[in-house]
Amino acid sequence: MSLIYLSAAELSAKLGSGEVSSVEATQAHLDRITAVDGDVHAFLHINAEALKTAADVDARRAAGEQLGELAGVPIAIKDVLCTIGMPSTAGSRILEGWIPPYDATVVSRLRAANLIPLGKTNMDEFAMGSSTEHSAYGPTHNPWDLERIPGGSGGGSAAAVAAFEAPIALGSDTGGSIRQPAAVTGSVGVKPTYGSVSRYGAIALASSLDQVGPVSRTVLDSALVHDIIGGHDPRDSTSLKDTWPSFAAAARAGATAESLKGLRVGVVKQLDAPGFQDGVKLRFHESLAMMEEAGAEIVEVSAPNFEYAVAAYYLILPAEASSNLARFDSVRFGLRVNPAGGGTVEDVMAATRGAGFGAEVKRRIILGTYALSAGYYDEYYGSAQKVRTLIQRDFDAAFAQVDVLVSPSAPTTAFKLGEKIDDPLAMYLNDVTTIPANLAGIPGMGLPIGLAPEDGLPVGLQIMAPARADDRLYKLGATLERMLEEKWGHTLLSQAPNLTPTEMFAASEGAV
């Protein structure tokens, strides 16, 4: 049994018992990356220190040191997160080769828990996109079908776990960048409650929406990662001071729960829409039937203002992004382009940003600048903020009736690379299901619920809970995961086509 097919929890058990070393586990994943990442392109950078770090963890374990549960387990890190010793580009040309002088808090917590950073994963430039096609370094390919998108912006992290290049990864979710890639790759991902995971060292897109979270193949693995990265951080002024329960304990309780008796599950009428793909609707309704059979009460709820969520989002996000991305000024870090014939610092700035930003980033900065301009602030940005209030009220009313809300994670399965790249508005609609949670700050999970019969591609379920009730996601998610896998007789990802090792075939033969 190859080590790459183990979940992080299974791998950690073998590491703990001494059956497997962290060096072996890390090497297995590095070999897998070498074998398949030429085709998948989940990674932008591989950590040259990974094996050294793994050897260090092995030595400390051998010396009898008590290590955390995931110590020695490899993890991939989305390139939006600052990492000492590894370039952090956020998928942008403007940060090509930039090595930050500090770690994001979530990265320091991974290191403190002795996980092994494998490398940095591909993403849409500055997390603007739903397909990774806006990465300056070329798109990531979906392991289920290399001609298709892996979702975005965190398509690299989702593809890395779905292609067994890493058991777990970190992502960030501003409007669905963890949950939508999970849906189209058949993996699991969680956007935690806003403020529950530190944003320090996460290159900012829209500060009132961004949240870092776990990416994995199982619900329990996401919970284990969430337990490590979550909690108050004095370096993030929006960090919540709450004490959080163990999400791994919630996932374990969910995995062994006999029924869903007493659980009220709300179906958002507006997110069970006629325009969604048939196979998505089919699997979604099957999962509702499964929950009902297990004792849950299914309640239809209405969220009339969700209709305005995408519009509000595409005003608030560009507005915040236009301000956040002002830091790329060609002075302190990143690219500098000197215009022909020289010029003032402002000319250099404009030439640098013109050359260093891709089309989608330019589009959103210009849109945000417009939305914030003096004559139009009330009409656009101000109105979008009011819609935000209305969406929160919709959620409040819904959660007064039910414990969790569910919807399809994405309206369709993975579409073809190139299909929507020239139509920004069509691309923006991919996130219609995920955006409301970001606007309201509530947590959401995406998990696989089957394959669409018409194309054989993964379909995801989104579970949403009230702010601070992230544990409900893990509990229900783990119960559903168990019931589905019992029904199927296997995991969903075990049905993904085998990726053919490309250039490394010879090398692995030589290694025997």
3-class secondary structure per residue, 182-225: HHHHCCEEEECCCCCECCCCECCCCCCCCCEEEEECCHHHHHHH
Q: Which residue lies nearer to other proteins by CB, 152 or 441?
A: 441
Q: Which residue lies nearer to other proteins by CB, 324 or 479?
A: 324
d(CA 53, CA 114) in angstroms, rounded, equals: 8
d(CA 25, CA 13) in angstroms, rounded, equals: 12
- Sign of the Cα torsion 109, 113, 116, 122 reads negative
DSSP assignment string, 80-135: TB-BTTB---TT-GGGTT---SS--HHHHHHHHTT-EEEEEE--SGGG--SSSTT-
DSSP assignment string, 354-390: HHHS-HHHHHHHHHHHHHHSTTTTIIIIIHHHHHHHH
Among 57, 215, 335, 435, binds other proteins (CB under 8 A): 335
A 10 A CB-CB count for 343 gives: 13
Q: Which residue lies nearer to other proteins by CB, 277 or 322?
A: 322
Q: CB–CB of 203/88 below 8 Å? A: yes
Whether 78 is catalytic is: yes
Among 350, 421, 469, 483, binds other proteins (CB under 8 A): 350
Q: Which residue lies nearer to other proteins by CB, 380 or 474?
A: 380
Among 150, 195, 230, 477, binds other proteins (CB under 8 A): 195
d(CA 130, CA 183) in angstroms, rounded, equals: 12
Among 36, 149, 168, 439, binds other proteins (CB under 8 A): 439
Q: CB–CB of 190/176 below 8 Å? A: no
Determine the interface stretch with other proteins among 104-112, 160-168, 188-196, 470-478 (rule: CB under 8 A): 188-196
d(CA 386, CA 308) in angstroms, rounded, equals: 11
Q: Which residue lies nearer to other proteins by CB, 246 or 392?
A: 392
> HSE (CB half, 13 Å, CA atoms) of 223?
26
Q: How far is the CB of 369 from other proteins (least distance, A)?
A: 5
d(CA 213, CA 106) in angstroms, rounded, equals: 9
Determine the interface stretch with other proteins among 18-26, 271-279, 325-333, 452-460 (rule: CB under 8 A): 325-333
Quick check: 85 binds other proteins (CB under 8 A)? no
Q: Per CB under 8 A, which of residues 261..320 are in contact with other proteins? A: 305, 308, 311-312, 314-315
Whether 153 is catalytic is: yes
A 10 A CB-CB count for 342 gives: 8
Q: Per CB under 8 A, which of residues 454..483 are in contact with other proteins? A: 467
User: How many angstroms separate the Cα of 127 from the Cα of each of 122, 136, 349, 380?
Assistant: 10, 11, 22, 22
Q: How far is the CB of 101 from other proteins (least distance, A)?
A: 4
Catalytic residue, from 22, 108, 172, 177: name it.
177
Q: Per CB under 8 A, which of residues 352..411 are in contact with other proteins? A: 353-355, 357, 359, 362-363, 365-367, 369-370, 373-376, 379-380, 382-390, 392
Pattern of binders to other proteins over 92-111, x per CB under 8 A?
A: ------xxxxx---------
Q: Which residue lies nearer to other proteins by CB, 441 or 448?
A: 441
Q: How far is the CB of 166 from other proteins (least distance, A)?
A: 27
Task: Tell me the two tokens of residue 439.
Answer: 């606007």
Among 338, 401, 494, 502, binds other proteins (CB under 8 A): 338
Say which DSSP state 148 is in: B
Whether 191 is catalytic is: no
Quick check: 322 binds other proteins (CB under 8 A)? yes
Count of residues that interact with other proteins, criterion CB under 8 A:
78
Q: Which residue lies nearer to other proteins by CB, 101 or 262?
A: 101
d(CA 68, CA 19) in angstroms, rounded, equals: 17
Q: Per CB under 8 A, which of residues 3..62 are in contact with other proteins? A: none
Pattern of binders to other proteins over 215-234, x per CB under 8 A?
A: -------------------x
Reduce the DSSP state of residue 276 to 3 states and report it. coil
Catalytic residue, from 78, 120, 191, 475: name it.
78
Q: How far is the CB of 413 from other proteins (least distance, A)?
A: 25
Q: Per CB under 8 A, which of residues 418..437 are in contact with other proteins? A: 424-425
Active site residues: 78, 153, 177
